[in-house]
């Protein structure tokens, strides 16, 4: 978890500065009639007790900002890797998907389960996120994936090589009515513990930007 505290603090500073200046990033796709952005990603799901705790906090945030887009519990996830970041009109043939599935399966074999501690909210310029702290197994899996996918000649189009283990839980669909109130609420939950758990499986999916529309490709089991 080296550097995670600093990474989350940097994101939070940027977000608070943007909100203080009323320069939050409003997501126009949340109110658009259509959104044809799809991506290929390896993700993991949250257990019910963690998503339930997050939902309780989101209810408080939404009371202050009724136009806040809050992720349904079923959509909450942690991204292991954006193999192909969501983009308009993504199409992968069955042969391409089979190659990605085989490469990920070969990578996951022998990879240990991932331990998690989720605690505290941070504000980015365009979202509310829960901080995730993880065991070294996640970083090892990410590095193996990047190496193995490259060796097999499969394109990898990550938006960025993330070290984060956050959960995006809300986005700004409209300009905020009272950014200062949202900051105060985030301050109150800055260290709130949402729960500990161990991830024993990861899912390869084609999904939209918000993980609301999901096309499952394969599920892989991590070792105990």
Q: Provide the residue ranges of all domains of the chain, joining segments of one domain with +.
A: 4-221
pLDDT level of residue 160 (50, 70, 90 thresholds): low
Q: Give per-residue pLDDT as tens, 29-49.
A: 999 999 999 999 999 999 999
Share of the chain above pLDDT 70, in %: 98
Q: Residues with Cβ < 8 Å from 162, sequence gap 6 or more?
A: 79, 81, 82, 142
Q: What's the pLDDT at 191?
A: 87
Q: Residues with Cβ < 8 Å from 129, sequence gap 6 or more?
A: 11, 121, 122, 123, 166, 167, 168, 169
Q: What's the pLDDT at 2?
A: 64
pLDDT level of residue 159 (50, 70, 90 thresholds): low
Q: What's the pLDDT at 109?
A: 92
Q: Give me the CATH code for the 4-221 domain, please.
A: 3.90.1140.10
Q: Give per-residue pLDDT as tens, 18-28.
A: 999 999 999 99
Provide the edge-to-edge strand list for the sheet that holds 201-207: 77-88, 37-45, 201-207, 214-221
Closest CA to 82 of 186, 176, 156: 156
State how far the Cα of 211 lies from the Cα of 78, in Å rounded to an integer. 10
Collapsed DSSP state (helix, strand, coil) of residue 80: strand
pLDDT level of residue 94 (50, 70, 90 thresholds): very high
């Amino acid at each position: 978890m080296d550097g995670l505290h600093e990474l989350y603090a940097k994101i939070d500073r940027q977000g608070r500065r943007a909100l203080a200046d009323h320069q939050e990033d409003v997501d126009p796709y949340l109110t658009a009639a259509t959104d044809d952005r799809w991506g290929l990603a390896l993700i993991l799901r949250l257990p019910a007790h963690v998503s339930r705790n997050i939902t309780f906090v989101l209810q408080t945030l939404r009371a202050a900002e009724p136009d806040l887009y809050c992720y349904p519990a079923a959509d909450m996830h942690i991204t292991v890797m954006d193999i192909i970041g969501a983009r308009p009109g993504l199409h992968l043939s069955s042969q391409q998907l089979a190659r990605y599935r085989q490469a990920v399966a070969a990578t996951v074999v022998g990879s240990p389960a991932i331990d998690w501690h989720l605690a505290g909210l941070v504000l980015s310029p365009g979202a509310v996120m829960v901080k995730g702290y993880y065991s070294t197994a996640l970083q090892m899996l990410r590095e193996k994936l990047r190496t193995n996918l490259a060796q097999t000649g499969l394109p990898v189009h990550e938006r960025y090589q993330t070290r984060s283990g956050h959960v995006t839980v809300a986005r700004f669909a409209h300009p905020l009515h009272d950014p200062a109130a949202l900051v105060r609420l985030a301050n109150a939950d800055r260290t709130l513990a949402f729960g500990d758990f161990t991830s024993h499986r990861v899912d390869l999916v084609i999904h939209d930007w918000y993980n609301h529309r999901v096309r499952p490709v394969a599920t892989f089991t991590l070792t105990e």
